[in-house]
Amino acid sequence: MTIFPDRRPTAKYNLFGYAFFILFAVYVIAVCLIAYGHFSGMVQERVEYAEPMPTSSASPVVIAWPEPNYSQRGLVTYLPEADRAEIERTLAAECGAEVYLGQIAVAQCTLDASQKDGIAPVEVLTEYKYTKARKEPSQSVREAVRAVYDRGERAVEQEIYYFANPRYCDMTFHKTRQLVLIIGNHNFYS
């Protein structure tokens, strides 16, 4: 005679435990995928176009979103490989999480500012106070830099020199500039 009864779980309880474990694992995986943005393509990004300032004669640029042929063609600009790598790494830190159109707009900012000031595009990174952080660029960031510099594509027809994320930036300077458009979390200014 045994003092303790047999406490092995029956098959019914074993099946319940396995089912609970599988459901919990699926839940954890789904939460991780959502947190890391794997479902971000399902959500349409916010793109707004600002009205021109009353003192400006420039009209706002209107681009239907999403539109497959949104980019404008401009001049092709030679970019040395070392400068290209530096710009790609900086843009990865600045706008790597933005949609492709936002990445093109930030690359356009570097090009437009360099042409306005007559300096190399890589010098714009220090002159215009881009982040000092550098990240490994994604394929979309590399493609955005190629689109702007090698194929002459533009996000908007107007020249844009500055961009800022209002959540993380002191907007005192940017309020003195003309707001051209908003893509995702970034405002773009001329």
181 domain residue, yes or no: yes
Q: Flag whether 95 is in a domain.
A: yes
Q: How many CA atoms does the CB half-sphere of 156 hold within 13 Å?
A: 30
Q: Does 133 reside within a domain? A: yes
Which of 64-73, 128-137, 166-175 shows the lowest per-residue confidence on average (mean pLDDT)?
64-73
**How many residues appear in the chain?**
190
> What's the pLDDT score for residue 46?
54
The domain tally of the chain equals 1
Query: What Cα–Cα distance (Å) separates residue 83 from each residue in 75, 90, 145, 171, 174?
Result: 18, 11, 11, 29, 27
152 or 32: whose pLDDT is higher?
152
Tokens 């009205």 label which residue? 51
Residue the block writes with tokens 């045994």: 2
Span 13-70, pLDDT tens digits: 566 777 778 888 888 887 766 665 555 444 445 555 555 444 444 444 444 343 444 4
Examine residue 146 and state whether it is found in any structural domain, yes or no: yes
**CB within 8 A of 145, min separation 6: which ones?**
79, 84, 87, 88, 91, 107, 137
Does residue 10 form part of some domain?
Answer: no
3-class SS of residue 110: helix
- Provide mean pLDDT across the span 136-140: 93
Six-digit token string for 134: 């550098």
The pLDDT value recorded for residue 164 is 87
Residue 168 is assigned to a structural domain of this protein: yes
pLDDT at 17: 74
Domain assignment of residue 96, yes or no:
yes
As a whole number, the mean pLDDT across the chain is 77
- The pLDDT tens digits for 62-80 are 443 434 444 445 567 788 8
Q: What is the pLDDT of residue 116?
A: 92
For the chain, state the CA radius of gyration: 25
Q: Domain residues for 126?
A: 44-189
Residue 113 confidence (pLDDT) = 92
Residue 35 belongs to a domain: no
> Strand runs (DSSP E) across 33-185, as ranges?
47-49, 72-73, 153-154, 162-164, 179-183
